[in-house]
Amino acid sequence: MAVSDVRLDRRRLVGLTTAAAAGGGLVALVEGVSGGAAARAERELPLSPPEDLMREHGLLNRVLLVYREAIRRIKRGDAVPLEELGTAASIVRTLIHDHHEHVEERYLFSALRRAGRHVRTIDVLLAQHAAGRALTAELLPLDRIPARRVDARARDRIRRTLSTFIRMYQPHEAREDTEIFPAFREITPPREFRELSERLQEQEARRLGPDGFARLVARITDVERSLGIHDLAQYTPEDAPKPRRPGRARPDEDRGERRS
C-alpha cells in the first residue's frame, strides 16, 4: 500500500464515529483494510499545515523550472512547448490557485490578520494570488493552440507572461516559507494546529481526489521528461567534488566516536 493510500485510510478512520473507532478491528473490517494497515495508518503523523503547503511550493518550483526551460527555448528561437506549458499551467490552477491559495487565505492569512501579524505583507500576497491567477489564465489555452498560429508577437507575449510569473512567485513563496508559515505556527495553539492538519488533508483529498498530490507529481514528471529536464544529475556542476558514500563516517568522526 502506498503512503498516500495509508493516509486516505487514516482519513476514513478519522471520519468515523467515536463508537465505531473504539471497535478497532471492526473499523478495519468495515473499511476493508487489514488490521496491520489500520494500525500503520493510526501511527502515521498527518502533515502539519506548513509542511503540506511547503510540499506544494516544491511542486510549484518544479513548474517554474518548466517555465524557465520554455523561456530558454523561445529565446533560442526553438518551438514553444505548447502542450507542456498547458499541462504545467493546469497543474498550477488545480493545486496552487484552487487549493493551496484558498487554504492560505481562508486559514493562515485570516488568523494572522486577526493577530495583527504581517498585515501589510498579507495584502501584497493576496494581490499576487489574484495576479497569478490572471497569468495562469493566459497560459492555460496554450495546449489547444496550433503551433502555426504562434507568431513572433505571441512568442514574445508567452515569454513575458512566463517571466512575470516566475519573478513574482519565487519571492512570494520564499516569504511565505520563511515568515508567514512560521508566524502562523507561533500564533496557533497546538490543538488547533493538529485539527487543522486533519482538515487540510481532508480538503486536499476532496479537491484533488485520491492520491491527488502524487498524481500531480507524476504529471509534472512527465512534462519534465518531455522537455529533457527531469534528470536531477544534469544540474550538478561537472567539476563538483566526488561525494562521500552515505553511511561512512570520516576518520575524524570515527575517532570522536571512540573517544566518547
Which residues of the shown chain bind Fe ion in the complex (CB under 5 A)?
104, 176
CB of 112 to Fe ion, least distance (A): 12
Minimum gap (Å) between residue 125 Cβ and Fe ion: 5
Q: Which is nearer to Fe ion, 79 or 174 (CB)?
A: 174
Residue nearer to Fe ion on the CB measure, 9 or 204: 204
Minimum distance between the CB of residue 223 and Fe ion, rounded to whole angstroms? Answer: 21
Q: Smaller CB distance to Fe ion: residue 41 or 180?
A: 180
Q: Which is nearer to Fe ion, 104 or 204 (CB)?
A: 104
Q: Which residues contact 9 (CB under 8 A, 6 or more apart)?
A: 1, 31, 33, 37, 38, 41
Q: How far is CA 225 from the centre of its chain?
A: 19
Quick one: 31 exposed, middle or buried, by C-beta within 10 A (0-12, 13-18, 19+)?
A: middle
Backbone angles phi, psi at 81, to 5 degrees: -75, 80
Smallest distance, Å, CB 53 to Fe ion?
6
CA angle at residue 227 from 223 to 230, to 5 degrees? Answer: 70
Q: In the numeric block, which cell numbers belong to residue 157?
A: 507575449
Q: Which three cell numbers stand for residue 16?
A: 468515523
Nearer to Fe ion, 38 or 184 (CB): 184
Query: In the numeric block, which cell numbers belong to residue 240?
Result: 563538483
Tell me the closest approach of the beta carbon of residue 175 to Fe ion, in angstroms.
9
- Residue 113 CA to residue 117 CA, distance in Å, equals 6
